Every structure is written in C-alpha cells, then in structure tokens.
C-alpha cells in the first residue's frame, strides 16, 4: 500500500511537467482541417443558426436578457405532449 501511494504521489508530481505548452508557431492547415473549416461554415453554421434561434416571448432588453433557443422550446413542448399523450409514467 505504501509503494502504491508513493507511486501515485510521484506520478501526480510529473503531470504538470507533461502538460507544458508547445511554443512553436502554428503551421498551415492540413487537408482535414481545411475540410472541417469548410464543412463548419457551409453546413454546421446554418443548422446551428436555426436550432439555436432565439424564441422571443418577452423583451430581451431587460437586465436578465433571458434567451430560449428554439430547440429547447421544441424539446419542452414534446416532453409535455408525450407525457399527456401516454398518460404519464406507468410504474408497475
């Protein structure tokens, strides 16, 4: 047990040294990174704009500035609908 704790302590002391940052300059984007960036701009961006569109039920100029994304409203309405449709939870 004592050797296990010693090994654990020594390995914990090495972890900060292993997480040092690389100081080299960033290189040119690889082919996969270019594809990922293009896919994010062409596909993911428009889908995220629709799914996280703010459903405005009140004025967002207030101090709280609360926002409700449309995907959250859709999930809450679906949960309420299916809870009522299937007549709540049946535990037998």
For 15-46, the pLDDT digits (tens) are 666 666 667 777 888 899 999 999 999 999 99
Domain carrying residue 88: 52-92
Specify if 5 maps to a domain. no
Specify if 30 maps to a domain. no
Specify if 41 maps to a domain. no
Specify if 31 maps to a domain. no
Gap between the Cα atoms of 90 and 36, Å rounded:
45
Specify if 38 maps to a domain. no
Gap between the Cα atoms of 3 and 1, Å rounded:
5
Give the pLDDT confidence score for residue 74 in this predicted structure: 93
Confidence band (pLDDT; 50, 70, 90) for 71?
Answer: very high
The mean per-residue pLDDT over the stretch 40-69 comes to 82
Specify if 4 maps to a domain. no
Residue 69 CB-density burial (10 A; 0-12 exposed, 13-18 middle, 19+ buried) = middle
Specify if 72 maps to a domain. yes
Q: DSSP readout, 53-70?
A: -B--SS-TTSSS----BH
Please state whether the predicted TM-score (pTM) of the whole model is above 0.85: no
User: Cβ–Cβ contacts within 10 Å for residue 48, how many?
Assistant: 13
More confident residue, 21 or 70: 70
Specify if 73 maps to a domain. yes
**Where do runs of H (alpha helix) occur along the chain?**
2-18, 31-39, 45-51, 70-85
Q: How many domains does the chain have?
A: 1
């Amino acid at each position: 047990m004592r050797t296990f704790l010693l090994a654990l302590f020594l390995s914990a002391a090495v972890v900060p040294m292993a997480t040092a940052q690389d100081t080299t300059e960033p290189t040119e984007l690889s082919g996969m990174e270019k594809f990922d960036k293009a896919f994010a701009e062409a596909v993911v961006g428009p889908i995220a704009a629709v799914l996280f569109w703010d459903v405005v039920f009140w004025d967002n100029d207030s101090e709280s500035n609360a926002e409700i994304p449309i995907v959250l409203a859709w999930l809450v309405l679906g949960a309420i609908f299916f809870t009522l449709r299937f007549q709540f939870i049946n535990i037998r």
